Structure formats: C-alpha cells, structure tokens
Structure 1
Amino acid sequence: MNPSESLLDATMGYLQEREALFAPAATKSSEAIRRRVEESPDLRAPYSRDSDRILHSRAYARYIDKTQVFSLLENDHITHRVLHVQLVSKIARTVGRSLRLNEDLIEAIALGHDIGHIPFGHFGESCLDAICRREGIGRFRHNIQGVRFLDEIEDLNLTLQVLDGILCHDGESRATRLSPLPIEDADPFLEFKNKIDAVQSEHPAVPATPEGCVVRFSDTIAYIARDLRDAAEVGLIDGFSDLPEEIREQLGTNERDIINTLTIDLMETSRTGEDCLIGFSDDIGSALNGLKTFNYRHIYEHEKTRGQDAIIRKMFLAVFEALHEDLKENRSESRIFTDYLDAPWISESYKNEISPAGAVRDFIAGMTDRYFERVYTELVLPRKFESYRIETIGSSDSRRYT
C-alpha cells in the first residue's frame, strides 16, 4: 500500500528540515545515486531504504554463523561477525551524530561492510584468493565480494554511496586520517567500476563520503579492543595488562576505555566543514597502530590461532575443485545448483554472465563456517546410510545397505 500524499509530504518535509542541520560535508539524501531510478513513493530516506534492503538480504542472514578471528573454537562468548557489525554500526552512528553527518548512510554502510567475508575469516580469504589467482579470475578481496553480493548477485539496486563505503571500509589499513574523495564523473558507476579495478590491483581506496570514512575508522575501533577481550577469553593473552605500557597509557587498560578513548578522539579531531578530514590525533593514531602491531603478533599470527591452517587450505581446495567439476559436468543434484544457482533470488543476468570458476568462488564466499564444513564432509567422506538389512542371496549371506 502506497503512503498518502499528505503523509509523504510531511515525512519529506521533516527529512529536509533534519538535513538542513547537517555539516557542510555531510552527504544529503538528494545526492543518492542508483543504477535504476525507482518511481514508487517511499517514506524512507534513500540510505535508510538501503539499510532495510541489506537487513533483508540473504547475505546479511549468513552473518550469524561467520566467525571473526577464532574459527575452530567452541565458545559462545567469542565474537561472531554479526556482533562485530552491530558494534561498528553503533560506534559509527555515535561519531556521525556528533559530526552532524548522515546517520542513515552510516548505518547502511556499517551493516553491509563485512558481507563479503568468507568462512574462516581472513585466512579463509587468503586460501580463496590463491585459488582465484590460479584459476585466472583475479584476486579475491572480501570488500569487493561484499559489493558483488549486494549489487550483482542479489541485485538490490543500492545507492552508489553505500556500495562505495562497503568497498572502501578496509579496517586493517594503518592510515589514521582520511579526506573523502567524491565520485564526480559524468558516469559515476563507470568511475566506481574503475575504483573496484584499482582495489583489485592492490591500490588503496579512499571512501567517497565522510560517512564512509567514519565507518572505516569505526570498524577498527570495534574490533581492535574486542579481539583483545576474545584473546584473553581463550587464553592467548593474560589480559589487557599484557599490552605495552605506552599503549595502556594512551588508550586505556580495558576494552571499554580503549573504545571510549578512540571514539572521543575521532570526534574531536575530525572536521566536517568544506575542508573535510576524518581521523585521529597524532598521539592516538600512533598508539592505535602500535595496538594493531601487538594484536597481529600476539593474536592473529599466534601459532595456536594458525595451528590448523594447512588443514583449512586443503579443505578449500577440495571444496572448490569438487564444486567446479560438478558445475562443468552439469550435475544438477550438486549443491552448487540446488543451494545456489537454482535459487530464485539469484539474478538471471548473473547466471548468464558468470564463469564456472566465478560461480564457485561466489558460492564458497557466501557460505557460513558451519555450512562450509558440512559441504566439505559431504564431498570427501563416504556417505553414511541410516540403516542396513542383511539379505540372503542364493546360497551365501551378503549385507545390503539401504
């Protein structure tokens, strides 16, 4: 049911009044760009509509069983991807509100920023990247994959500003200050495609909006201290007291204080006038990069975290090659068809254009950790039957499994 004209007018009037209070650099709803014009009236602002589309996407639903850092660990208190995304959204909207930026745009970027992550986190990404390069289909990057899930595979017709923020989120970067680089080409989606190609070729990408910059730094704030807490939970470190003294002095001695210090510094250092700059002060930025170094050394590259990498790499190879063979041989009973290509939410244009290796890449990239393990088990282990009966055939006994 379409809203009445009076309700629509009142809502649009309120949105215009609210956006009149935005900072000069903030992204207005009137600037939203989509591939296809949408004529139907809607009470939601464009970026709010994008948030809803992301929330209702299949890719978003799969956040629930994608791990953050510790993949092969049974512990209900360890952070999963869906919780991380919620934390990023909360921090980024708090920062955006203080800087008078567009919170609707911030929320949409934050909710979608990690949708391209695959089973077993960043190590899984490196495994799939190696396979993709071997197959000649380009490097695999989870930020590019996130754009592909939402823009190509599910074809949600999201705004360019949201897709750009997802592409450029890169929370692992050591940059501590950013000035947005607006997309100004007469054909903005062509310029965006060139930007994707640049990221594919290992060139750093800067968000086109200050809201995208805020999400990028909020991503770092959300994971950097939470990963320390998780590492203490599983016994990799004793606690925040293991941090170097200079980091504890600058950032704090617990998760809450570190998040608070980084968030407030980001608010106080950033400026959203005509000379827009989003980032941290020199001292806090330096301490943050020191904390990243500590986390890599004591958490992400720890032998206990990386202890089963060889097994995981073999799993990725086995799953990719088996599904690729199923697709080339057109085995319609394979999960590559039943659970992916034959699904009604896969766009026809995608199915017509994607290569076999590309389709397998996308299918694996969308899997949750648990589903990936199940597919691997089905592909490499003998099938177990639910019951058996013994029949006598001729004069000899033989077992027949049914």
Structure 2
Amino acid sequence: MMDLSDYAMVEGHPKYKQAIKREHAIYTRAYDIRTPFVRDYTRLIFSQGYRRLKNKTQVFFAVDDDHVCTRLEHVNLVSSIANTIARELKLNTELTQAIATGHDIGHAPFGHGGERILKDISQHYHLEPFWHERNSLHFVDDIEVLEDDYHHFYNLDLTYAVRDGIIAHCGEMQQALITPRDEVIDLQKDFTRPGMFEPYTYEGCVVKMSDKIAYLARDIEDALRLHIIDHNEVNALRDELNSLGGYQFNAINNGSVVNYFIQDVIHHSSSAGIGLSEEAYRKMHIIMNFNYKHIYLIKRVDIHNNYVKLMMNSLFEFLYDYYQSPTFLEDLKDDRDQYHTLITHYLAHLEKHAQFPHIPRNPNYENKVIYDFEHDPQAITKSILDYLAGMTDTFLIKSFNELLSF
C-alpha cells in the first residue's frame, strides 16, 4: 500500500497556497477551529442546493420507494468511498469530503436525461453547452448564497482545490489511472468540456475515481428492486466478471463491488496517480457496459425522457413568453396567484441574482449579479435555465401541473 502523505494537500505542499485560494475572502469568527477545506464542506452542506439533492433523480425518477437511490445518497456514497481511499493513502480527507459533497450540486433534475434536455435548450438559445460538472461549479461560484450574522447574503467563495475537484470529477470517463495536473487554470473559462483537464490534486483524483465506483452496483440494486433486471441477468454478469480470473465475486451487490474497487485502488495508486489494476479496470468496464445495456438505455428510459422533455420545454417557454412584454416583471407578479409555485420562486430567484434598469437591488443581497437585464440580451434565457437546473424532480412536476390546472 502506497503512502502518499508527501502529496497530500496540506500546509507545506507547494500547491497549498493556490489550493486554498478564494476569489474573495470570507468572514471569520473568533476562535474558528475549521481549516479552509472544512469551511468549504460546511458552507456546502448549509446551502439550499445541497438540501435539494434529496429530491433529485440519480437514475430512476419520481419513484415512490424510499429505498431507491437519490442524488443525495449518491453524493454521500461518493464521500464515503473517497474518504476511505484518501485515509488509507494518507491524503487529506477534509478536502475529499468537501469535493465529494459539492460534486453534483448543480446536477439537473431527472438525472442525465434532464441534463441532455437542458443542453438542448441551451444550444437552441445560443448559450454555452450545459453539462452538470460545469453547472455544479456555476452553482457554487454564482448561484448558491449563505446568510451572514447580519442577514446579508454572499456567494460561497470556495477554495480553488474544491472548485477544481467539482468541475473535474467527470465519472463517466473510463480511466485506469488519473494523474493530477500541475498547471493552474481559470476553471470558469478554460474548462470547456467534461473531462478536459484532470483534477489539480490527488484528492480530486480520488473523488473522480470514487464517483465511478459509487454508482456501479448501486444502480444494479435499484434496477433489481424495480424489476427492470432480474437475478439471472446479474448472475450472468457475475460469471462474466469471474471468468477473467483473479478476484472472484460471490455476489454482485453494492457492498461487494465497492469493497473490491476500494481495495484495488488503495493497492494500485502511487505517485503516478490514483489507479486501478488491469483486472479491476476491465471489470469496471464490463459492469459499466452491463448498466448501459440493461438499465440506462432501455426503452422505458425513452418514454421517461420524452415526458421530462415536455415538462422542461413547457416551463421554459411559459416563462420565456413573459419577456416578450415590456412589463414582464409586472405581468409575472400579476399571475403569481394562478401559478404560485412556479412564478413566486422564479421571482425570488431574480431578486437574488438579477439587476433591472431603474430598480435597486435588495441591499441584503451582496452576492454577484449574474443576470444583467439592462445590458445582457441573454439574461432571461440564462435565468430560466438556471432556475430549471436547480429544481428538484418533485418541484418541477408540481410546477408543470400548475400549467395544466384551471
């Protein structure tokens, strides 16, 4: 087992000063005992975006079953796996916990199907492509705010290392070795597609690997529970994995699969990066292929995606149509009673993040203005897209149902 303590992102590491850098200094309290990365972790779990993850899809949407994985449970699984690996490799577990906690905070409702629909909307309106890793960075940089001791709201202003780990976490990529990069980049401007750069820290690489491990068997367990696959198919997967030799699985479930990959990563990581053995890499590839064939790309997913597309497009167009009127703010306020859920919360979103001509902002909001309705012609499309991206599955369905009610 490799001791990577010399590479841990702690004081004395040559990258540490950059790793703890924030865009703006955050307030301090007397006798605060938290390190910079622990402060990031607590700022994330106090945020509204983190709370909403409990009602966002991981794979299976709007399921009336408390035991099916949600986005919040997935985040907690990634955090647990990453912390175990980081602890055994003598890396900074505070950093891995903060990155893991924030890595999916900007994920779309309805999982990757919702992500593709928002990507289509953004491209149709000539915005930058939507992808959840970048949107998670956008949320922690621009959207999420916290209230201070004087009822003023500020952006999270997380450290560079945590922000970097969030946008660089892309878990869909198949890699046997993840090696941290050395260069400092502008995360908002230089990162233009998923997986374009590796994380800046070994801890970020651990989270990226842990994201892959976390969903492999957990999605299989849910598919079994919902009768999408059966035990014969899972047993056939087990036999295929065991035919490769090496480690032999007695069962394919979350505990056995997670334990196998954690042990493999711990024993095959080195100063070269966070890695898997050739055997484990091949087995991960086989499980991923099984999941795509039997779970992610089945016919029922198309039906689900069409339903979500109808809801998202309807809500987007409904709000966008208000902007065609020169008195669109007043029109929105006039219709609040009829569409209370959708419009009330959208207006609150604008109050927090927008600047309008001749309308002063609430002085309690000292966070960034990200929708400049005086100078940016795309302010309306950006504001609606962000609003939809932040919704939970249940809130989006409730808002859509308002449009159907008379």
- State the Cα deviation string for residues 307-326 of structure 1 (Å, max 9, x = none): 33222211111111112223
Q: Deviations over 1:58-95 (max 9, x none)?
A: 11110110111010422221101111111111110000
Measure the CA separation in 2 of the matches of 1:365 and 1:345.
Answer: 21
The residue number in structure 1 matching 2:369 is 349
Quick one: which amino acid aligns to residue 302 of structure 2? Answer: R
Mapped partners of 2:273, 2:178: distance in 1: 6
The equivalent residue for 2:188 is 193
Bigger shift: residues 337-346 or 32-41: 337-346
Check conservation: 1:113, 1:143, Cα contact below 8 A.
yes
* Change over 3 Å in CA distance of 1:365–1:228 after alignment to 2: same
Task: Name 2:108's counterpart in structure 1.
Answer: 118
The residue number in structure 2 matching 1:399 is: none
1:129 is displaced (CA, Å) by: 0.5
For residues 321-342 of structure 1, the C-alpha deviation after alignment (integer angstroms, 9 at most, x for no partner) is 1122235522234245434222
Partner of 1:214: 206
Kept in 2: contact 1:323–1:336 (CA 8 A): no
**Shift of the alpha carbon at 1:351?**
3.8
Identify unmatched segments of 5+ residues in structure 2: 145-154, 337-342, 353-363
Say which SS state the counterpart of residue 243 (structure 1) adopts. Answer: helix
Structure 1 gaps of 5+ residues are 1-20, 384-402
**Which one-letter code corresponds to 1:223 in the other structure?**
Y
CA distance in structure 2 between the partners assigned to 1:143 and 1:335 by the alignment: 28
1:243 aligns to what? 237
Identity fraction in percent: 32
Aligned equivalents of 1:310, 1:71: Cα separation in 2: 13
Q: What's the CA shift for 1:306?
A: 3.1
2: distance between equivalents of 1:336 and 1:86?
A: 28
User: Matches of 1:340 and 1:235 in 2, distance apart?
Assistant: 39
Distance change >3 Å, CA 243–CA 23, structure 1 → 2: same
Spell out the pairing of 1:1-400 with structure 2 (5 A cutoff). 23-29=5-11, 30-31=16-17, 32-38=20-26, 40=28, 42-154=32-144, 155-184=155-184, 191-196=186-191, 198-199=192-193, 204-239=196-231, 240-243=234-237, 245-248=239-242, 250=247, 252=249, 253-255=251-253, 256-271=255-270, 275-327=271-323, 329-330=328-329, 331-332=332-333, 333=336, 334-335=343-344, 337-343=346-352, 347-352=367-372, 355-379=379-403, 381-383=404-406
Tell me what 2:339 maps to: none
239-248 vs 26-35, which deviates more?
Answer: 239-248
**CA distance in structure 2 between the partners assigned to 1:97 and 1:119 by the alignment:** 32
Q: What value does the CA root-mean-square deviation take over the aligned residues?
A: 2.1
Q: Deviations over 1:196-252 (max 9, x none)?
A: 2x22xx563211111011001111111111001001001111133141523245562
Deviations 1:252-288 (Å, cap 9, x if unpaired)? 22221111110000000001xxx43111011111110
Q: Is the 8 A contact 1:153 1:346 kept in 2?
A: no
What is the CA–CA distance in structure 2 between the aligned matches of 1:237 and 1:39, rounded to whole Å? 51
| Greater CA drift, 284-293 or 336-345 | 336-345
Residue deviations 1:101-143 (CA, integer Å, cap 9, x gap): 1111000000001111111110011011001000000210111
Deviation at 1:183, TM superposition (A): 3.4
What is the CA–CA distance in structure 2 between the aligned matches of 1:345 and 1:317, rounded to whole Å? 30
Give the count of matched residue pairs.
351
- Equivalent residue of 1:104, what SS? helix
Q: Which one has a bigger Cα radius of gyration?
A: 1
SS where residue 305 of structure 1 aligns? helix
Letter in 2 for 1:363: Y
Name the SS for the 2:301 alignment partner: coil
Structure 2-normalised TM-score? 0.81
Cα pair 2:114 2:308 within 8 Å, conserved: yes
Deviates more, 1:207-216 or 1:36-45: 36-45
Q: Are the counterparts in 2 of residues 247 and 290 from structure 1 also a CA contact under 8 Å?
A: yes
Q: CA deviation at 1:345?
A: 6.3
What TM-score do you get using the length of structure 1 for normalisation?
0.82
Q: What CA distance in whole angstroms lies between the structure 2 residues aligned with 1:276 and 1:327?
A: 53
Residue 96 of structure 1, CA deviation: 0.1
Q: Which moved more, 1:326-335 or 1:308-317?
A: 326-335
